[in-house]
């Protein structure tokens, strides 16, 4: 198996509301899907929004109602200023501020918002993980 994550899927109650947050609020462009699913190309991977009921039917079991489930999604910027700007953009688009941007113990700059539907989005700057011109992030080899 090649080492990669191809897709992160969020089970959401209202695909249209969460899609509007990403598209109208953050300026993302939908790459595909309609109705119960929306897809967004995110560099070398994809973010999917999937209607909870439809995803449960596909999997064949109920999903926990807790949106955290021990998982967050993250967007990394190229600077602390990027974090400040995107945090405010997310809040203006309807996200609930959870943790305002601040320097963190590991040497970066991080914040969290709850997007519509309750999933947590970290908005961060990590000075140790470079982002290339195409938006791909990499852990440097030591």
121-136 pLDDT, tens digit each: 999 999 998 888 888 8
Q: For residues 79-100, give the mean pLDDT.
A: 96
The per-residue pLDDT for 40 is: 94
The per-residue pLDDT for 1 is: 64
Kindly give the residue spans of alpha helices, DSSP state H, lying in 39-92.
52-59, 80-92
Alpha-carbon distance of 33 to 49, in angstroms, equals 9
Helix (H, G, I), strand (E, B), or coil: what is residue 47?
Answer: strand
CA-wise closest residue to 36 among 61, 19, 21: 19
CA-wise closest residue to 127 among 60, 59, 81: 81
Give pLDDT tens digits for 4-60: 777 898 989 999 999 999 999 999 999 999 899 999 998 888 899 999 899 888 878
Alpha-carbon distance of 120 to 73, in angstroms, equals 7
End-to-end CA distance of the chain: 23
Name, in order, each residue with C-beta under 8 angstroms of 15's C-beta and a sequence gap of 6 or more. 35, 36, 37, 38, 49, 50, 51
Alpha-carbon distance of 1 to 44, in angstroms, equals 17
Q: For residues 70-85, give the mean pLDDT.
A: 89
Confidence of residue 120 (pLDDT cuts 50, 70, 90): confident
């Amino acid at each position: 198996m090649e080492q990669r994550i191809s897709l992160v899927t969020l089970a959401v109650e209202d695909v249209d509301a969460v899609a509007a947050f990403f598209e109208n609020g953050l300026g993302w462009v939908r790459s595909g899907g309609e109705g119960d699913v929306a897809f967004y190309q995110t560099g070398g991977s994809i973010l999917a929004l999937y209607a909870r009921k439809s995803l449960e039917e596909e999997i064949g079991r109920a999903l926990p109602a807790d949106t955290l489930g021990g998982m967050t999604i993250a967007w990394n910027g190229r600077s602390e200023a990027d974090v400040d700007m995107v945090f405010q953009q997310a809040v203006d688009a309807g996200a609930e501020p959870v943790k305002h941007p601040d320097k963190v113990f590991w040497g970066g700059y991080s914040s969290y918002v709850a997007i519509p539907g309750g999933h947590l989005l970290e908005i961060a700057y990590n000075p140790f993980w470079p982002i290339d011109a195409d938006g791909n992030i990499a852990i440097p080899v030591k």
